[in-house]
Amino acid sequence: MRGFGAPLGICLPVLAAAAPRTATRAAAELRTFLLIAVISILMTITGCSPVSAATRHIVLLFDERVELPGLSLLEAEFVHTLRSDSPDPIEVYREAMDLSRFSSDSYKVLLRDFLRAKYADKKVDVAVAIMAPALDFLMAYGNLIFPETPIVFCGLDRGQLGTRSLTPNTFGVLIKREFAPTLELALRLHPETERVVVVSGTSDFDQELLAQAQNDFRPYENRVSFSYLSDLSLPQLLAKLSRLPSRDIVLIITVFQDGSGQPFVPHDVVERVSGAASVPVYGFLDQYIGRGIVGGSLYSTTKHGADTARMVLRLLTGAAMPAHLAEVSSNKVIFDWRQMLRWDISERGLPPGSEIYFRELSVWQRYSWQIAFVGAVVLIQAGLISILLHEHRRRRMAEVQSRQRMAELAHINRFSMAGELTASIAHEINQPLGSILTNAETAQSMLRSSHPDIEELKDIVDDILRDDRRASEVIRRMRSLLKKAPFEPQHIDLNELVRETVEFLSALAVGREVKLSSMISPAALPIVGDRVQLQQVILNLVVNAIDAMADTPSDDRAISIRTSRVEKFAEMAVSDHGPGIPEDRLKEVFEPFVTSKPKGMGMGLSIARTIVEAHDGQISASNEPGWGAVFRIKLPISRHPSVG
Ligand code: ADP
């Protein structure tokens, strides 16, 4: 309840000091007290503390400039963890000593006095030393600058800490620097390696790490040879690295300073070394990933920063410290996908649990959802199309089959009708044959005379020829009616067809004492259809009409065939003077096997309907007052002119 207790603590003495006390005054004071208490409670509930919680002050002492990439990463993670996990506000001060560039003793003394004066009036809760030089500085002057302030250090490994004797108020997070795991990894990925080229710098820090690495590599000296490059200037180093034989690999430690004494930011050196080297380069720090190294078992600076912040937090909250020193491994096996591609390193060779950074996702990985969706849509569409095509084919097949069956049935029907037509056909053929015989006999007797009349003979021969043609025409029509032909649509004129069929039927009509008349539309009625089949429809309708009038007095027997154009249709109506069709059977007569005749098959109208519908037309039956039955067929007018 820090922040809540403070105002009450201030208010109560103020109230207590009020004098002299009267009853009314005491009541007023009580009211004021209650009011203040309520306001304080409300402010606490709403989070507006009247006085802020005690701010904690932390000083970060860097050996170098804070902007060095490693330090800035460590610092960022340290501050982030501290601020997000601390219950109190945190104020962080940063002091960068820049010791690799300014390292004289007089500078350090001046720095000491400067910091002492700077923080004289500031209660610092924890001073944090980052890297060994900063720890040494605080060990020497910490008590003067930040008296009785606990010190936490980081950035050193146990070797670097050495034999320093730490005060009871000093705590530290030790780095577990390991160089062998990266070497082990590199040798596993490049089993043909003969030599390992180790690159490092000449600064104290560079040399310290190099010494440790050399120590770690000693057990490997019987497997591969080692070449240590630290005394070259950067340009010389790069030139050398660019000409390494293929069985070499490079391990880079740190280069804060090259062999010529030139200072560098190690990250830049890593980038240039990786760019120049003719063989793969491995490293030890996670900050170097993305700067050209293939990878390795890498130490994580950010994790080290977070571990240090957690130790500072324990001190701030007064939690028990399990030990003065914490040593945690912060290594992770990390690889750069781009470098793996560059050096042809297979993912299968990596140890399990390795992390791969900068992996370029394949189109499938990037758009798997979209590709799957589009693929599914295409598949469904393809499936639908194939189903539709299949259905279409089936329909076409069914249509072809039904046409074939219809043609066969129609053929049978024509045969049966031919029986009915036999008498009239015989009559039609007999007539010209009789005339031919008479004419031939006349010609024969004329030829016997001494002076035959040539002109007369010519006329007789013409008559014989005409009659012969007439008989041939009857036979031709009969043959065409009886021939078995496939459905053969062609441009025809319905008027022509009706005329021809009426002529064909005239003998039958005469024989059955029926008056057959036709009223042909003056305008042509072009349609597309099968001539034989449509003729069969007309024949069926007329023969049925003749049959229907069997009981009609012969004077009344009449059939009228009319053609006309109704909108986009060519229409033909066949009316008779028969009894008509009972109203309830008007539709039924088109069904197969419906007949009222003793020897009927009941197929004629059914076939007629099938033929008309195959021509996209309609057929209907009705009764007409004053007449008998009327059958109408409607066929679509064709846009092309009829060819007869
Ligand atoms: P079928 O002639 O072998 O009987 P159809 O299918 O041609 O077979 O005719 C079916 C039936 O329709 C006929 O039996 C008859 O009862 C009736 N029908 C057909 N045309 C007429 C018509 N013009 N007048 C009266 N009834 C008819």
Tens-digit pLDDT profile for residues 74-100: 999 999 999 999 999 999 999 999 987
Can you give the pLDDT at residue 577?
A: 95
Measure 526 CA to ligand 1 centroid, in angstroms: 29
Q: In whole angstroms, give the CA distance from residue 359 to residue 339.
A: 10
234 lines ligand 1 (CB under 6 A): no
DSSP 185: H
Look over the chain and give the mean of its residue pLDDT values, rounded to a whole number. Answer: 87
Can you give the pLDDT at residue 33?
A: 53
The tens digit of pLDDT for each residue in 581-638 reads: 999 999 899 998 899 988 888 889 998 998 999 899 999 999 988 889 999 999 999 9
Kindly give, in sequence order, each residue whose CB lies less than 8 Å from that of residue 172, ignoring residues fewer than 6 positions away.
Answer: 135, 152, 153, 154, 156, 161, 166, 324, 325, 326
Query: Is CATH 3.40.50.2300 the right assignment for the domain spanning 56-174?
Result: yes
- Which residue's CA is minimally distant from atom 19 of ligand 1? 544
CA nearest neighbour of 7 among 49, 55, 56: 49
Can you give the pLDDT at residue 315?
A: 95
Instruction: Let me know: does 262 contact 202? Beta carbons within 8 Å.
Output: no
CA angle 556, 559, 562 (to 5 degrees): 140
pLDDT more than 70, % of the chain: 90
* Average of per-residue pLDDT across 262-274: 94
Residue among 420, 542, 595 to mutate when testing ligand 1 (max atoms within 8 A of CB):
595
601 lines ligand 1 (CB under 6 A): yes
Can you give the pLDDT at residue 120?
A: 95
* Average of per-residue pLDDT across 447-471: 90
Structure token pair of residue 294: 């293939």
- Highest average pLDDT, of 20-24, 39-43, 58-62, 473-477, comes from 58-62
Half-sphere exposure in the Cβ direction for 438 (13 Å, CA): 8
74 lines ligand 1 (CB under 6 A): no
Q: Ligand 1: which atom is nearest the Cα of residue 600?
A: 3
**Which of 41-45, 446-450, 467-471, 571-575 shows the lowest per-residue confidence on average (mean pLDDT)?**
41-45
Higher-pLDDT residue of 504, 621:
621
Can you give the pLDDT at residue 205?
A: 87
539 lines ligand 1 (CB under 6 A): no
* Average of per-residue pLDDT across 349-367: 87
Structure token pair of residue 401: 């089959």
Domain segments of the chain: what residues?
12-48, 56-174, 180-304+327-357, 486-644
> Which residue shows structure tokens 């002057």?
141
DSSP result, 430-454: HHHHHHHHHHHHHHHHHHHSSS--H
Structure token pair of residue 272: 């240039």
Measure 576 CA to ligand 1 centroid, in angstroms: 12
**Which of 319-323, 353-357, 362-366, 462-466 shows the lowest per-residue confidence on average (mean pLDDT)?**
362-366
536 lines ligand 1 (CB under 6 A): no
How far is C-alpha 531 from the geometric centre of its chain's CA atoms? 56
Q: Ligand 1: which atom is nearest the Cα of residue 589?
A: 12
537 lines ligand 1 (CB under 6 A): no
597 lines ligand 1 (CB under 6 A): yes
**Which of 219-223, 372-376, 529-533 shows the lowest per-residue confidence on average (mean pLDDT)?**
529-533
The tens digit of pLDDT for each residue in 402-434 reads: 777 777 777 777 777 777 677 667 777 888 898
Domains 180-304+327-357 and 486-644 share a fold: no
546 lines ligand 1 (CB under 6 A): no
The tens digit of pLDDT for each residue in 306-332 reads: 999 999 999 999 988 889 999 988 788
134 lines ligand 1 (CB under 6 A): no
Sequence-separated contacts (24+) of 500-504 with Cβ below 8 Å: 500/535, 501/535, 501/538, 501/539, 501/542, 502/542, 502/561, 504/477, 504/535, 504/539
Can you give the pLDDT at residue 28?
A: 55
Dihedral, 163, 167, 170, 171 alpha carbons, nearest 10 = 50
Q: In whole angstroms, give the CA distance from residue 620 to residue 573.
A: 10
Report the CATH fold assignment for 486-644: Heat Shock Protein 90 (3.30.565)
The tens digit of pLDDT for each residue in 287-300 reads: 899 999 999 999 88
Could you give the 3-state DSSP secondary structure of residue 46?
coil
b or e along 233-268 (b: 16 or more beta carbons within 10 Å of the residue's beta carbon)? Answer: ebeebbebbeebeeebbbbbbbbbbbbeeeebbbbe
Q: Which pLDDT band, with edges at 50, 70 and 90, does 26 fall under?
A: low
Q: In whole angstroms, give the CA distance from residue 180 to residue 224.
A: 13
* Average of per-residue pLDDT across 472-495: 82
* Average of per-residue pLDDT across 26-34: 55
595 lines ligand 1 (CB under 6 A): yes
Residue among 409, 420, 544, 594 to mutate when testing ligand 1 (max atoms within 8 A of CB):
544
Given a cut of 90, is residue 505 above it in pLDDT?
no
Can you give the pLDDT at residue 247?
A: 96
Measure 548 CA to ligand 1 centroid, in angstroms: 7
356 phi and psi angles, rounded to 5 deg = -115, 120
Which amino acid would we find at residue 592?
Answer: P
Q: Which pLDDT band, with edges at 50, 70 and 90, does 7 fall under?
A: very low
* Average of per-residue pLDDT across 330-335: 89
- Which residue's CA is minimally distant from atom 26 of ligand 1? 581
Q: In whole angstroms, give the CA distance from residue 397 to residue 557.
A: 45
596 lines ligand 1 (CB under 6 A): yes
592 lines ligand 1 (CB under 6 A): no
629 lines ligand 1 (CB under 6 A): yes
* Average of per-residue pLDDT across 170-177: 93
Q: Which pLDDT band, with edges at 50, 70 and 90, does 18 fall under?
A: very low
602 lines ligand 1 (CB under 6 A): yes
DSSP 361: P
Q: In whole angstroms, give the CA distance from residue 610 to residue 220.
A: 97
Q: In whole angstroms, give the CA distance from residue 241 to residue 227.
A: 12
Within 10 Å of residue 451's Cβ, how many Cβ atoms?
A: 6
Which amino acid would we find at residue 392?
Answer: H
Structure token pair of residue 333: 């096996």
Can you give the pLDDT at residue 541?
A: 96
The tens digit of pLDDT for each residue in 199-253 reads: 999 998 899 899 999 999 999 999 999 999 999 999 999 999 999 999 999 999 9
244 lines ligand 1 (CB under 6 A): no
Higher-pLDDT residue of 86, 7:
86
Instruction: Write down the CATH number for the domain with range 180-304+327-357.
Output: 3.40.50.2300
Instruction: Name the strand (E) or helix (H) holding 571.
Output: strand 569-576
CA distance to 176, 213, 262, per residue, from 159 (Å): 10, 12, 27
Stated length of the chain: 644
Given a cut of 70, is residue 285 above it in pLDDT?
yes
585 lines ligand 1 (CB under 6 A): no
Q: In whole angstroms, give the CA distance from residue 611 to residue 628.
A: 24
Can you give the pLDDT at residue 643?
A: 46
Q: What does DSSP say about strands 56-62 and 151-157: parallel, antiparallel, or unpaired?
A: unpaired
- Which residue's CA is minimally distant from atom 11 of ligand 1? 595
* Average of per-residue pLDDT across 545-564: 94
Can you give the pLDDT at residue 68?
A: 87
Can you give the pLDDT at residue 189?
A: 96
Q: Which pLDDT band, with edges at 50, 70 and 90, does 30 fall under?
A: low
CA nearest neighbour of 326 among 187, 123, 176, 117: 176
